[in-house]
Amino acid sequence: MHEGSDPNRVEHAAAPEDPTPTSAPHGADTAVADPPVAPGEVDDAPAGDVAADGAEAPLLPEPQVEAHARAKERGAYYATTPIFYVNAAPHIGHAYTTILVDVVTRFHRLRGDDTFFLTGTDEHGENVQKAAESHGKTPQEYADDVAGQFRSTWDRLGIRYDEFIRTTEERHKRVVRAVLQKVYDAGDIIYGEYAGLYCVRCERYYTEKELVDGKCPQHEIEPEYRTEANYFFRMEKYRTWLRDLLHEQPDLIRPERYRNEVLAMLREPIGDLSISRPRARVPWGIPLPWDEEHVTYVWFDALLNYWSALVSRDAEERYWPHVEHFIAKDILKPHGLFWPIMLKAAGIPIYQHLNVHGYWLIDDRKMSKSLGNVVRPLDLQKKYGNDAFRYFLVRDMNFGLDASFTEPAIAERINSDLANDLGNLLNRTLGMLGRYRDGVVPAPGPLEPIDEGLKDAFLALPDTFARQFDALQFDRAIENVMEAVRKANKYIADTKPWELAKDEADAQRLDTVLHTLVEALRCASILLDPVIPAKAHELRKQLGIKNAPYDLASASEWGLIPPGTQTQPGEPLFPRIDLEALAQQIEDEARAAEEAALAAERAAAEPEPLEHKPEITIHDFAKTELRVVTVEAAERHPNADKLLVLTVRMGPETRTVVSGIQQHYAPDDLVGKKLVLVTNLQPVTIRGVESQGMILAAEDDDGQLSLVTLDRDLADASEVR
């Protein structure tokens, strides 16, 4: 067995009886593995070999490979969010990625691309199993519940995904098993043993070096030392292939800083990846198709959702050539390292881009339950409105970098961009149209340079906007539109329509100015549509063109609003937020939270009253037979890692007792001990072993156990009363 030095350079050992394992068949009960991979003696096979390996038996048959190449030419777009764990309710971080992908896919639809948007939930693994237990639910009930919360949150945020995939769905599990079998048959999954420090929350092993003060850097908890016999995915074999790929396609992982991070990981051996967990310990997972005693490691299962969602609807040919993943930096390693290698090993083409964003910090601190600063998207949506919330998230994060979230920042952004610039432009334009032209859009006269200037500024936007979206510069794309909007406000100040309105001789000039303004608003509404879809629609409705086309091409044309169109002014698009009242409210909320925390602390300090069972009589109690027994033998239960099987003597009788104390007592320490047994309990069979009674033990709130023993030596079989 090998002590792990790097979780993703997992070293596995050959079974001792198999000194030349490389050519041996790999099977569930023939525990064979490659010789351990030691740093420095890594098989640096030329990339070509691996490429040939991977291409030998692609999951996509030959005609589909060609179709893949052809499909790439087509205007299509397939975007994914991570599938979120179901052990926590949706927060602003989950909402950001999902809203961003919603914005990006709406943009591609505007552009006329055949677009597909996938999101979903990641439902297997130890964490979900434990979270379910702590809620008194089965893992499936628990997953159903939280997956429902994600769906309804996305629905309420107006997110238009095309598919919501759950890893507990049969259609997903089927594909995972098929891919596993394929990779296993190709010899890229092998059996071996591993020992190391494991964070149960991350569900991965850590090296000592990666820990911070001995704790997992993500969850700040101490990892457990674990040894396990597992199946390993032979990632190391593909290391040079991936490194070369990242050089050939420098923007495969972007922005560049994240590509560099992955390249840095590839500079040293990456080892092999443990891709199974013993089913006895983690039953909540997809059993390996060739060995039902092991379930699939959550990451190998989860990453495949991006592919299985398409396979299950026969859409892989249509969309896979266009796949774009959006994730945050926290899951760069599985997506930048494991996933491309998994795809390669399975003979599936690699993704187009891995697009990696930074983290939303809350007042510059990491968001966490323990800090009590988790921000819920629906709270903000209720307070500020859906579109304003979306606008803030996309406008205020520079893709790739961290951003800081504060409520005053949302409010200021709404007031400046949405209320002042955009809202004002609409109000002033509709107000003047109402005052001077009965709310009817006039036909324009000849354009003067100032009108041409504004028109050109707007007509230049779609190209720049598309380029910036393609380059992940969402904040700048929006800012460019807002700059044009500000220009339009300045145009009003410069052309002074109120002066023109005073003189009938300037009527045509006034018509031109008003017409230019409504056109500018129409173009802005199209470009902003992906970000603020409901308000953009409302804006067009107020302009009187709610049914007019609003694809990207129509934002590159001028003069599409027919003269004579009746405008329909309504409520302001974005009401201003009273910053002083907001500051007061934030202060009040902070005070209330502080008081609640104090009250909770006080309540915790007072001991809770004990809960008692209903009273019984002495006769009821006398029905229970309790006797002293001596432990003669103790061994681990063959089928359960929490149970011990004890052989106890009680005078002339010997009994077998199954007891859930394996994690608290070593079998050898129990032999010879005098314990107390409930002797007249009906026998039960626990995992195949009959238990003839129950040993008494005390348990505290932390789950610590102590066996009930005697403080004086009495003969076994003595009665306890």
**Hey, which bits of 298-383 come out as E strands?**
323-328, 353-357, 360-362
- Binding to ligand MSP (CB under 6 A): which residues in 411-450? none
The residue among 166 and 522 lying less far from ligand MSP, judged by its C-beta, is 166
Catalytic residue among 2, 137, 215, 219: 219
Residues 6+ apart with CB under 8 A from 439: 430, 433, 566, 567, 568, 569
Q: Which among 90-98, 178-186, 307-315, 674-682 is the span making contact with ligand MSP, rule CB under 6 A?
A: 90-98
Min dist CB 410 to ligand MSP, Å, is 15
- In the block, which residue shows the tokens 């060739």? 290
Please say if 91 is a catalytic residue: yes
Q: Is 338 in the site for ligand MSP (CB under 6 A)?
A: no
Residue of 531, 494, 520, 487 lying closest to 509 (CA atoms): 494
Q: Is 122 in the site for ligand MSP (CB under 6 A)?
A: yes
What x/- string results for residues 297 through 326 when contact with ligand MSP is judged by CB under 6 A?
-----xx-x---------------------
Residue of 286, 300, 301, 294 lying closest to 230 (CA atoms): 294
The residue among 271 and 377 lying less far from ligand MSP, judged by its C-beta, is 377
Min dist CB 476 to ligand MSP, Å, is 19
If one counts every other C-beta atom within 10 angstroms of the C-beta of residue 39, the result is: 12
Min dist CB 627 to ligand MSP, Å, is 52
The first and second tokens of residue 591, run together, are 């005070």
Q: Is 83 in the site for ligand MSP (CB under 6 A)?
A: yes
The residue among 85 and 399 lying less far from ligand MSP, judged by its C-beta, is 85
The residue among 96 and 194 lying less far from ligand MSP, judged by its C-beta, is 96
Catalytic residue among 26, 216, 294, 637: 216
Question: CA 438, CA 514: separation in Å to the nearest integer?
Answer: 12
What x/- string results for residues 243 through 282 when contact with ligand MSP is judged by CB under 6 A?
----------------------------------------
Please say if 523 is a catalytic residue: no
Q: Is 478 in the site for ligand MSP (CB under 6 A)?
A: no
- Contact in structure between 488 and 517 (CB atoms under 8 Å): yes
What are φ and ψ of residue 116, in 5° steps? Answer: -140, 130
Contacting ligand MSP (CB under 6 A), which of 118, 131, 288, 327?
327
Min dist CB 320 to ligand MSP, Å, is 16
Question: CA 23, CA 14: separation in Å to the nearest integer?
Answer: 12
Q: Is 341 in the site for ligand MSP (CB under 6 A)?
A: no
Question: CA 623, CA 59: separation in Å to the nearest integer?
Answer: 66
Min dist CB 141 to ligand MSP, Å, is 19
| C-alpha triplet 577, 579, 580: angle, nearest 5° | 135
Min dist CB 403 to ligand MSP, Å, is 8
* Beta-bridge partner residues of 355: 254, 326
Contacting ligand MSP (CB under 6 A), which of 113, 162, 330, 479?
330
What are φ and ψ of residue 673, in 5° steps? Answer: -70, 150
Q: Is 84 in the site for ligand MSP (CB under 6 A)?
A: yes
Q: Which among 88-96, 173-181, 205-213, 220-228 is the span making contact with ligand MSP, rule CB under 6 A?
A: 88-96
Min dist CB 532 to ligand MSP, Å, is 20
Find the residue with minimal CB distance to ligand MSP: 93
The residue among 144 and 330 lying less far from ligand MSP, judged by its C-beta, is 330
**Hey, which bits of 91-223 come out as E strands?**
114-122, 163-166, 189-199, 204-206
Q: Is 331 in the site for ligand MSP (CB under 6 A)?
A: yes
Question: CA 697, CA 676: separation in Å to the nearest integer?
Answer: 9
- Contact in structure between 372 and 593 (CB atoms under 8 Å): yes
Contacting ligand MSP (CB under 6 A), which of 198, 360, 391, 574?
360
The residue among 322 and 357 lying less far from ligand MSP, judged by its C-beta, is 357
- Contact in structure between 235 and 272 (CB atoms under 8 Å): yes
The residue among 54 and 358 lying less far from ligand MSP, judged by its C-beta, is 358
Catalytic residue among 199, 237, 344, 674: 199
Decide: residue 361, CB within 10 A, 0-12 exposed, 13-18 middle, 19+ buried. Answer: middle
Min dist CB 155 to ligand MSP, Å, is 18
Q: Residue count at the site for ligand MSP (CB under 6 A)?
A: 19
Min dist CB 314 to ligand MSP, Å, is 22
Question: CA 555, CA 455: separation in Å to the nearest integer?
Answer: 11
Min dist CB 82 to ligand MSP, Å, is 4
The residue among 77 and 84 lying less far from ligand MSP, judged by its C-beta, is 84
676 backbone φψ class: left, alpha, beta (φ>0; ψ -120 to 50): beta
Please say if 219 is a catalytic residue: yes
Question: CA 664, CA 193: separation in Å to the nearest integer?
Answer: 25
Question: CA 240, CA 360: separation in Å to the nearest integer?
Answer: 34
Contacting ligand MSP (CB under 6 A), which of 4, 82, 497, 693?
82
SS (H, E, C) 451-517: HHHHHHHHHCHHHHHHHHHHCCCHHHHHHHHHHHHHHHHHHHHHHCHHHHCCCHHHHHHHHHHHHHH
Question: CA 245, CA 258: separation in Å to the nearest integer?
Answer: 15
Please say if 487 is a catalytic residue: no
- In the block, which residue shows the tokens 């200037």? 453
- Binding to ligand MSP (CB under 6 A): which residues in 92-111? 93-94, 96-97
Min dist CB 405 to ligand MSP, Å, is 9
Q: Is 153 in the site for ligand MSP (CB under 6 A)?
A: no
Q: Is 173 in the site for ligand MSP (CB under 6 A)?
A: no
Q: Is 85 in the site for ligand MSP (CB under 6 A)?
A: yes
Contacting ligand MSP (CB under 6 A), which of 24, 51, 211, 328?
328
Q: Is 513 in the site for ligand MSP (CB under 6 A)?
A: no
Question: CA 621, CA 521: separation in Å to the nearest integer?
Answer: 84
Please say if 369 is a catalytic residue: yes
Min dist CB 271 to ligand MSP, Å, is 21
The residue among 474 and 550 lying less far from ligand MSP, judged by its C-beta, is 474
Q: Which among 91-99, 640-648, 695-703, 711-719 is the span making contact with ligand MSP, rule CB under 6 A?
A: 91-99
* Beta-bridge partner residues of 627: 677, 719
What are φ and ψ of residue 632, in 5° steps? Answer: -95, -35
Decide: residue 427, CB within 10 A, 0-12 exposed, 13-18 middle, 19+ buried. Answer: middle
Catalytic residue among 209, 369, 612, 613: 369
Question: CA 95, CA 76: separation in Å to the nearest integer?
Answer: 24
Catalytic residue among 68, 202, 664, 673: 202
Question: Which parts of this chain interact with ligand MSP (CB under 6 A)?
Answer: 82-85, 93-94, 96-97, 122, 302-303, 305, 327-328, 330-331, 359-360, 367
Q: Hey, which residues are catalytic here?
A: 91, 94, 199, 202, 216, 219, 366, 369
